[in-house]
A and B are shown apart, each in its own frame.
Chain A
Amino acid sequence: MKVTIKVWRQKNRGAPGAFQRYATPELNANMSFLEMLDVVNEQLAQRGEEPIAFDHDCREGICGTCSLVINGKPHGPHKGVATCQTYMRSFHDGQEIVIEPFRARAFPIIKDLVCDRKAFDRIQHAGGFISVRTGSAPDANSILVPKPTSDLAMDAAQCIGCGACVAACKNASAMLFVAAKVSHLNLLPQGQPEKERRVKGMVAQMDQEGFGGCTVTGSCEAVCPKEISLDFITKMNRDYAVALMKGEPARAAAGGAG
């Protein structure tokens, strides 16, 4: 099969960008989408043009590095699958595929299809942890966690931090990511002591980073490669409301105790 790709090219942060069309050579339907881009890049390099910059690493859907908005959908056509697990068999011969970077003010574009997602880390610094000094932990089985609870926490913990939720959201809201992170820890018994400071700290940082608010449109859930559920946003809103009632200091969570 062959396809044409219409790709966003942008020299660097400041520079203006534009779409560029490229015709691919003959492809194999079992190629992954990123392998298709590899092939195109080899071709470009041969011609002495600059290859298309795109983010990727594990190529098995777990590191959260790959991004890309494929035909208007972050992570491409399939549900619960990351870009790197998308295969050419999902497209038809001769199709034109539009490839864009994640678009959000909080995710500035570095080059072509690569954007900067450090804002997520800064949100984590503001409370995405349980304060436990190495060596101070009790025996693992001294903390009983009901299976349903730990399964639910695991559902949230699966988030790979790819940022597709932000990319898909019409408000570029990071709610699904933050909710997943908050819920993972706030669900577990170990996470209770810092529950309020955590949710307040992380939400405050989220706002500071310039992400939008949630208007419950549900795009995030639809594109999330780990199918993180909107219910976690509901849960986080509840935790936040409770935290407000208790009136704990918001920023105190940042960095936690020494």
Chain B
Amino acid sequence: MNSITPMWRSTVGKKIVMALTGAALFLFVIAHLLGNLQIFLGPEALNRYGHFLQSNMELVWPARLGLLACVVLHIVAAVQLSAANKAARPVGYEGNPHPVATTYASRTMLMSGLIIAAFIIYHLLHFTVLVKGLNFSGQDFAAFQDEKGRHDIYRMMILGFQQPIVTIFYLVAMALLCLHLSHGIYAMFQSLGLKPGCCPGFPRALAKWGSILIFCGYAAIPLAILSGYGREYVTAPPPDPTVGKEMK
């Protein structure tokens, strides 16, 4: 059955692609957030998690490729649609600069999206490819090892977010992601033709609170670190017992 070409050709079909890829990205963002939040469980937990991922490349790579495909499809569709939409409505209205009854988020989806894309690239270089010059701490994150000889992600994060510029950029990106999702999640339901008869308000509610929670979750990490969380870990040894207690 050839439904792919008509799907990609029609505006409605393309929105379905965006919605599906968007949904996948959304799920990743949640999973990734949960993973990252382990930082508050201490170096042991986080590093174990990171090690688990890195030692199961046969699982990670498919996931990575899948994600990559989603981001690419999502972006290509987004750019193409936005271009078509602009072409369909070349002239605005003198009487009122903003389209009636629209939200800021809905008007800026492309921009927020593109900036998120830029963030992702930086972020990968920062924490995955571990490019030394990009972390502004002067140290080589790749070299970090914890006592069990695993890649010390904990230390990497602490040092990474002790750099105010980095943290600020992350926070901005998180804010935009939140903005993007605050419309995106709702739009996703509409584009996929999902309307829970029981609770029609659900998509809007999920979009609103979901995006806010995601922002808080992500923002918590750099903010906590900037305000001193985990400083002892990177400035130790000598290890201080009290600190040690805190962290078990």
Contact surface of A with B, Cβ cutoff 8 Å:
6, 19, 69-74, 98, 100, 103-106, 168-173, 175, 200, 203-204, 206-207, 210-219, 221-223, 230-231, 233-241, 244-245, 247, 250
Contacts and interface: CB of A to CB of B under 8 A. Distances in A.
Main secondary structure of the interface of A (DSSP, over half): mixed
Given A216-B191, A234-B189, A73 B87 contact: no
Interface string B136-148: 0000000000000
Nearest to A214: B15
Interface of B: 1-3, 6-7, 9-16, 81, 84-97, 99-103, 106-107, 109, 183, 186-187, 189-195, 200
B15 A105 contact: no
Contact of B190 (A6, A211, A216, A245): A216
B193 A216 contact: no
Contacts of B192: 237-238, 241
Nearest to A240: B12
A3 to B, nearest CB: 14
Contacts of A104: 88-89
A11 B162 CA distance: 64
A231 B7 CA distance: 21
23 contacts: A71-B96, A103-B91, A103-B92, A170-B89, A173-B11, A207-B11, A210-B88, A212-B85, A213-B85, A214-B12, A216-B187, A219-B102, A221-B101, A231-B195, A233-B190, A234-B190, A234-B195, A237-B190, A237-B191, A237-B193, A238-B192, A241-B16, A250-B6
A171 B89 contact: yes
A170 B109 CA distance: 13
Contacts of B12: 175, 203, 213-214, 236-237, 240
Contact of A244 (B3, B89, B97): B3
Contacts of A247: 1-3
A214 B11 contact: yes
A172 B91 CA distance: 10
Contacts of B89: 103-105, 169-172, 212
A214 B183 CA distance: 13
A212 B86 CA distance: 8
Contact of B96 (A72, A218, A240): A72
A74 B96 CA distance: 11
Taking each of B14, B87, B183, B190, which has the highest tally of chain A beta carbons within 10 Å of its own beta carbon?
B190
Nearest to B189: A234
Contact of A240 (B103, B107, B193): B193
B19 to A, nearest CB: 9
A72 B191 CA distance: 27
A72 B15 contact: no
